[in-house]
Chain A
Amino acid sequence: MEFITQPWAWYVAGPIIALVMFLLYYFGERFGVSSNLETLCSIGGAGRFVDYFKIDWKQNSWNLIFVAGGITGGFIASQWLSPTDVVAINPQTIQDLADIGIQNAGATYLPEEIFSIETMLSLKGFLILLIAGIMVGFGARWAGGCTSGHAIVGLSNLELPSLIAVIGFFIGGLIMTWFILPLLF
């Protein structure tokens, strides 16, 4: 049981993600999470404002079911398979985060300074969460995929557009991590 309850190593997680992708294709569909954001727009009636969202979203319902499974899996893992919430990150990372105003890094999965209820209910905290989401959603749909569709599927399929997108992911991620995050807290 300890094999399950301890944090899973990269060489366990990577192959399982590849298996998830394989199974979705084997079942006749594809692996890509961010297209669900468009489906949610369509369900919410966005097709009344923008033709782009006038799609028959029911053909994408398998993907929403997949996401519902993902939520359930997250619940199962945190309720029954994880005795601790500690994330064993690099001590240097903990120090670097303390230097930019994020304390107790790694004590739980997420920093209080971004995700606590109190932060969410402050104007600045709410805007950080909202803007982060907007950039992810806008960027993913502009690029035509996120980490699953581009980094995993696209790179596996040796696609140049995906290589460009993943380079973009890293340019954006490095700018945020090295230059913008230090100014926020």
Chain B
Amino acid sequence: MKYIKFFLVGILFGIVMSKAEIISWYRIYEMFKFQSFHMYGIIGSAVLLGMISMFLFRKKMVKTFEGNEIHVPPKKSGLYRNLLGGILFGLGWALAGACPGPMFVLIGKGVVSILVVIFGATLGAFLYGYFKDKLPH
């Protein structure tokens, strides 16, 4: 039962990804062509409100439902890791027109071919783990 809340939040996530057309390949293409404000508005407003959330967490004004402090662990630093990994991710994002969240939501839309993309993404994560020690970070 403790998992049902994550399922419900996931449903909200899936609905907003679909209804705001974030799962549409065309919206990603349009974003990288700078031909619409839509995606920038979504990410920008989410980040702006996210900053307020982070501030409330840091000031301990909001705690978890169990009363624990909320710590957001810092991302790993490293120019190569973030820049090169980011570029590779961006190449895939613009080709698939979907990042990991939307990929899964597209299953719910009944898109069979997205399963190949998800298989590829899982394989990609495996290959990263396999070659990790040989990569610059």
Interface residues of A, Cβ cutoff 8 Å to B: 4, 7-30, 33-34, 36-38, 40-41, 44, 46, 49-50, 52-53, 61-63, 65-78, 81-82, 87, 89-90, 92-93, 96-97, 105-106, 109-111, 114-117, 119-120, 126, 128-162, 164-178, 180-181
**Taking the nearest CB of chain A, how far is it from the CB of B2, in angstroms?**
8
Check A165–B82 contact: CB distance below 8 A.
yes
User: How many residue-residue contacts, CB under 8 A, span A and B?
Assistant: 506
**Taking the nearest CB of chain B, how far is it from the CB of A121, in angstroms?**
9
Q: Which residues of A lie under 8 Å from residue B46 when comparing CB positions?
A: 13-15, 17-18, 21, 152, 156
Complex partner residue of A117 from B101, B103, B112, CB under 8 angstroms: B112
**Taking the nearest CB of chain A, how far is it from the CB of B133, in angstroms?**
9
Please judge, given known A-B contacts A78-B108, A143-B81, whether A20 and B9 are in contact too, CB under 8 Å: yes
**Taking the nearest CB of chain B, how far is it from the CB of A160, in angstroms?**
7
Check A68–B10 contact: CB distance below 8 A.
yes
Please, which residue of chain B has its CB at the minimum distance from the CB of A149?
B75
Q: Which residues of A lie under 8 Å from residue B61 when comparing CB positions?
A: none
**Taking the nearest CB of chain B, how far is it from the CB of A184, in angstroms?**
8
Please, which residue of chain B has its CB at the minimum distance from the CB of A90?
B35
Q: Which residues of A lie under 8 Å from residue B91 when comparing CB positions?
A: 135, 139, 172-173, 175-176, 180
Check A144–B75 contact: CB distance below 8 A.
yes
Q: Which residues of A lie under 8 Å from residue B23 when comparing CB positions?
A: 74, 109
Check A129–B116 contact: CB distance below 8 A.
yes
**Taking the nearest CB of chain B, how far is it from the CB of A134, in angstroms?**
4
Q: Find residues 35-89 in chain B having any chain A CB closer than 8 Å to their own CB.
A: 35-51, 53-54, 57, 62, 64-66, 68, 70, 72-79, 81-89
